[in-house]
Amino acid sequence: GAGVSQSPSNKVTEKGKDVELRCDPISGHTALYWYRQRLGQGLEFLIYFQGNSAPDKSGLPSDRFSAERTGESVSTLTIQRTQQEDSAVYLCASSSSGPGTQYFGPGTRLLVL
C-alpha cells in the first residue's frame, strides 16, 4: 500500500495511562501533520513536521502531548497521563513538500475511560 498508515486503529485506555500513536507517511513525503477530531467536530491542528526543520508545535493542547519524527519517516504522537477529554480520533497526514496536497491516514480512535 502506498497510502498513509496509522496504528493502532483503535485504542482503549484508562485515565492516567500513557498512549503512543504511530503514523507511517507516504514514502518520500517530507511534511507530516497530526490532527485531533472530536466526535462531530472539525479537525484541530496539533503539530507539523517538515523535513529536518524544527517542528511547529503550536497546536499541542498541553505539555502532556508530544510528538517525534525520525527524519522523513515514521512519527509517533505520545499522550501522557491521558484524560477523558483526550478521547477523539487522531489523524495523521503527509504531503510531498511543505504544506501541499495532504493525504490522510485512517486515524486512531482513542477512548479514555
Determine which residue in the list 8, 16, 38, 41 makes contact with other proteins, applying CB under 8 A: 41
Q: How far apart are CA 56 and CA 53, in angstroms?
A: 9
Q: How far apart are CA 45 and CA 33, in angstroms?
A: 8
Q: Is 98 in the site for other proteins (CB under 8 A)?
A: yes
Look up cell 507530516; give the residue.
32
User: Nearer to other proteins by C-beta: 25 or 107?
Assistant: 107
Cell numbers that stand for 56 in this block: 511547529
Determine which residue in the list 77, 91, 110, 112 makes contact with other proteins, applying CB under 8 A: 91
Cell numbers that stand for 112 in this block: 479514555
Summarize as ranges the residues that interact with other proteins (CB under 8 A). Answer: 33, 35, 41-45, 48, 50, 56, 58-59, 89, 91, 93, 98-104, 106-107
